[in-house]
Amino acid sequence: MIRLPSQVRACLFDMDGVLTDTASVHAEAWKQTFDAFLRERQGEDAQPFDLKRDYGQYVDGKPREDGVRDFLASRDVELPEGTPDDGPEQATVYGVGKRKNDLVQRLIDERGVDVYEGSVRFIDAVRAAGMKTAVVSSSANTERILRSAGMSHLFDARVDGVTIAKEGLKGKPAPDSFLRGAELLHVGPDEAAVFEDALAVVEAGRAGDFAITVGVDRHGQPDALREHGADVVVSDLSELLP
């Protein structure tokens, strides 16, 4: 038996860090983007983006523009919002986000996407058991990444950064995108399991009253995941298989 509550009929998976190792690509793209931007604004003595501290605290799992706002606020930088049509050369929240997105797309195209094989085996097992599956990610590149990873066929629904913007959903850590995923799979939150690795986001499972929130510990922080709302913590989804 798969180690999930008996009432679970659907599984909602974050992508970066849960299904694919694109988190490392996103982290690198954020660092390059922010370091270059801060040098432009504050000179060579600008405090650089710290991969260990700043990535998890300010940008991991959040919609792109929220990550820009939150990190730059930590460096006492405030930018005009701009608009979604801003180009990467513009010093706006949307412009800096566009710089990062252009870079992460280039890195994905150049390097491809690494997949967590334990996650694939787990998804195959839950689908064989008759459960529905959805990917729920803040990334606007979700479709591109899943296609590159050869995983598109594993999901009955997708809620991503494009969906969030189009439907006006609140981004993570609000539970709205996970709730929308459950709705698309025609189940209530009490019949759905959430799988998330980001500290700032795992609390969305608790906020949405889902049947169970599984914290996927890729960074050696099991206690912190539990403190933020994970009911169960595993280092790989294969641990939930018989």
DSSP 109-155: HHH---B-HHHHHHHHHHHHTT-EEEEE-S-TTHHHHHHHHT-GGG-
Beta carbons of 62 and 26 less than 8 angstroms apart: no
Q: Out of 16, 86, 176, 217, which one is annotated catalytic? A: 16
Residue whose tokens read 């989804």: 237
3-state secondary structure 59-96: HCCCCHHHHHHHHHHHCCCCCCCCCCCCCCCCCCHHHH
**What's the CA gap between 194 and 151, in Å, rounded?**
18
Active site residue 45: no
**Alpha helices (H) in 134-217, listed in sequence order:** 142-149, 161-167, 176-184, 199-207
Q: Out of 14, 86, 160, 231, which one is annotated catalytic? A: 14
- Closest by alpha carbon to 215, among 18, 62, 8, 11? 18
Amino acid at 30: W
Residues 6+ apart with CB under 8 A from 73: none
Residue whose tokens read 């994970």: 230
Active site residue 114: no
Catalytic positions are 14, 16
